[in-house]
Structure formats: structure tokens, C-alpha cells
Structure 1
Amino acid sequence: MHIYFLQHSPLFGPARMADWLTGLGHSYNHSRLDEGELPPPLANCDALVLLDAFSPPDTTLLKRERKLVDRALKSNKPVLGIGFGAGLIAEALGAIVSPAVQPEIGWQPLTLADDSPFDLPETFEVLLWHRDIFGLPDGCLPLGSTPGGPVQGFAWDAGRVIALQCHLHLTAQATAELCDHDLPATSTGRYVQSRDEILREPKRFDRQAALLDRVMTQWPDGR
């Protein structure tokens, strides 16, 4: 299987997902929208991963990306989105994406929804890095909620399409770089943690890696 990553920032890369896919014998390419590259034709890939962003690409690229997402959703190809990418999927499926009243940056406990289709523990800790939220599109099954966000992701079309607010794929090093670039000097919200709080326990990233494995095992073969 050949996967295309649609990347919107050098700081929101594939991280552990690239190793996971390579380990299973999949191949992948990047489409660097943050560097002005165009999204690929859908025929060039077997699956899409839409990565997070600090801000949307320029109008022309965003229009092309939205068209690609629409086509992918109508196809039988797996699609996975994280953060901004998850929002693109939610929007394409009819949900509203809007600024969050309380941004979530740091570690939060996530409670699995009663009707969640994800093979995950009932409660677990996740790394969040978002300032936007989205509703649950019609026909989708929810991932679960955190104290600051009722919709932290969803699955659609029997798991072929997955949207996640949480960054299960990020390593400690990648997160440190995010902190240095994007974290306010002082906390600006109830669910915004300091650099020290976020990086204090390296084992958190190991636990996330195990959760990522469980999600990725359901995708792309979950449909």
C-alpha cells in the first residue's frame, strides 16, 4: 500500500506513523503544502493521511486539498486526519469547525465513548495540540471526550475514515520542538500546559506509541 501524507508544517510531520507504515511494508510520500507543493492526484495513492497545521494553506492549495478529501471520502480508499486534517474530514462530512473556547495543549485524560468503535482502553491519556473544535458528523461514531472537548475524534464508513484531535504519533523530540515554537511563555487557558508539564514524563510517549499501534491496526484494514 502506498500512502500520501499531506503536510502543512515542518513541525507536524508523520513522526511515528512513518516508522509504523514502513515496518508493515507500506511505502509513503509527502505532499508539502507548507512549501507550496500541490496535493497529489487520488490515483497516485492507496490511502491519505492529513496532518495537523498551525494555519491553513493558501486559498488555492486549500481548495485543491478539500477537493481531494471529497474524492477520497467518496472512494474506497482509507483516510486518516489529525488536528487540522481531522477538521477537514469533519467539514467534508457536514460538521462545523470553529475556534475552541478553551484550547487544549498538553496531556489530558480521554474517556472512550460508549458507542466508540475504537479498540482502546476506557480511559487513557493523550497529547492534544489544538485551538479548533468540530462537531460529530452524521453517521459517524465518536472516539470519546476530554474535560475540555466533547468530540476528540470519530470513525466513519466502518473505520475506513478516522479523524483524531489527539497526536498519538508524536515523539518527545517532536513535541519539544512544538513547545519551543508554539507554546506561550505563560499559560493562557485552563487546558494549556507548560513545557515542563508536557515533557516531564517521557514514558507518556511510549504509552502513546502503544495506543497508536492499536488505532493503526484498525486502519487501513478496518473497513
Structure 2
Amino acid sequence: MHTYFLQQAEGLGPARFADWLDSMGHSHNTCHLYADETPPRLEDCDGLILLDADLAVDDTASQPWLGREKKLLARALKSGKPVLGVGLGARLIAESLGAIVSRGTSSTLGWQHITLAPESPFDLPETFEAFSWHRDIVGLPDDALPLGGSAASPQQGFAWDWGRVVALQCHLEATEESLSALLTHLAARKNGAPALAGPHVQAPEAILADARRLDRQAALLDRLLVQWLRSVAR
């Protein structure tokens, strides 16, 4: 299987997604959309993974490449190929499937306890801890099944089309390196954006304090990705 990562911000790369694909013998490439690289042809890949960025789904005026990405995503959702999105990628999937994506009242940055929804199709524990970074909230598309939620966000993801399409607000792919890169990215944000604050925002020291959290996430990501690819091999 050959997967294309659609990277939407400098420094916010595939992280453990790439490690997992390598370990399973799958190939992958990364298209740096934020650098105005041309999106891949759908015919040149077997699946897509849309990565995160601190953008809104309607930022097409300031980021023209976002419109091209949306067209590729719309084709991919109809193609029968596996599609996964995390953060902004998840919100783009939700929007493309007709769900509402809107600005939340406060930001989330840090570790959250997530409770699996009773009807969740995901092979994950009933409760688990995951790293989250977002402010926008998403509705549940028609015919989608929810992942579950946390105190900060009632909708942490969903599966659609029998699990072929997966959207994740939480970052199970995070590594120590990717978290450090994210924190550096946020600290260097342009246009004088204010620092994140609120009841669900943790300090960098707290986020990086316990590396065992990342190890536990790695095991959960493995289970989720195996289930995701198995959904298109049935």
C-alpha cells in the first residue's frame, strides 16, 4: 500500500503515522501543501492521511491550496480508498461529508481522558488518555459512528463508510519530537496571535512530563490503524 500524507503546516508532519507504515512494510510520500506543492493524483496512491494545522476549514482565501485539497478529498471519499484525517484533516473530512464545523468557546491543548461512545466502532479501550490540540468542534456526519468524547470536546472523532474513512480530533500519532515541534510552532505563530489559555490548556512542561503516555498512545494507534486498513480489505 502506498499512502500520501497531506501536510498543511511546516513542522507538523506525519510523526508516528509514518513509523507505523514503515513497520508494516507500506510506502509513503508527503505532499507539503503549505509550501504550495501540487497535491498528488488520486491514481498515484492507495490512501490519504490529512494532517493538522492551525487553520480553519474555510481559510481558502489566505491559503489557496486548501481549495485544491478539498477537491482531492471529495474525490477520495467517493473512491473507495482509505482516508484518515487528524485535527484539521478530520475537520475537512467532516465538512466534506456535510457536517457542521464551528469555532468552540475555548482551546484544547494537552492530555485528555476520552470515553468511548457506546456505539463506537473503534477497537479502543472504554476510556483512554490522548493528546488533543484544537479549538474548532465538529458535528457528526450522516451515517457516521462516533469515537467518543472528553470533558473538553464531546466529539473526538468518527468513522464513516464501515471504517474506511476515519476522522480524529485527538493525536494518537504524537511523539516526543512531534509534540516539541508543535509547541515550537505555537510559540512562533505569526500575526501576533495570542497564547493559548483556558481550563483545557496545559503548560508545555506538563505536556512533556511523562513519556509513558506516548508509549500507551502508540499501542492504541497500532490497533486503530490495523482496523482502518482492514476495513478496505474485507
TM-score above 0.5: yes
Aligned-pair distance for 1:61?
1.2
For the 8 Å contact 2:109–2:133, the answer to whether it is kept is yes
TM-score (norm: length of structure 1):
0.95
Is residue 2:95 matched to residue 1:86?
Answer: no
Q: Spell out the pairing of 1:1-223 with structure 2 (5 A cutoff).
A: 1-55=1-55, 56=59, 58-182=62-186, 188-223=197-232
Aligned-pair distance for 1:10?
2.5
Aligned-pair distance for 1:177?
2.2
Stretches of structure 1 lacking an aligned partner (at least 5 in a row): none
Aligned-pair distance for 1:186?
6.8
Cα distance between partner residues in 2 of 1:150 and 1:112: 10
Cα distance between partner residues in 2 of 1:93 and 1:9: 23
TM-score (norm: length of structure 2):
0.91
Q: Which amino acid aligns with 1:139?
A: D
Stretches of structure 2 lacking an aligned partner (at least 5 in a row): 188-192
Q: Deviations over 1:108-132 (max 9, x none)?
A: 1000000000000000000001121
Q: Which moved more, 1:154-163 or 1:32-41?
A: 32-41
Cα distance between partner residues in 2 of 1:14 and 1:181: 15
Percent of aligned positions that are identical: 55
Cα distance between partner residues in 2 of 1:59 and 1:207: 35
Cα distance between partner residues in 2 of 1:34 and 1:149: 27
For the 8 Å contact 2:34–2:65, the answer to whether it is kept is no
Cα distance between partner residues in 1 of 2:161 and 2:37: 29
Q: Deviations over 1:173-212 (max 9, x none)?
A: 2202212331599761110000111011110000010110
Q: Which moved more, 1:150-159 or 1:4-13?
A: 4-13
- Alignment RMSD, CA only? 1.6
Distance 1:59 1:186, change over 3 A: closer
Cα distance between partner residues in 1 of 2:194 and 2:99: 33
Distance 1:206 1:185, change over 3 A: farther
For the 8 Å contact 2:4–2:28, the answer to whether it is kept is yes
Q: Which amino acid aligns with 2:147?
A: L
Cα distance between partner residues in 2 of 1:90 and 1:185: 27
For the 8 Å contact 1:111–1:144, the answer to whether it is kept is yes
Q: How many residues align?
A: 223
For the 8 Å contact 1:186–1:194, the answer to whether it is kept is no
Matched residue SS, 2:229: coil
Matched residue SS, 1:192: coil
Aligned-pair distance for 1:22?
1.2
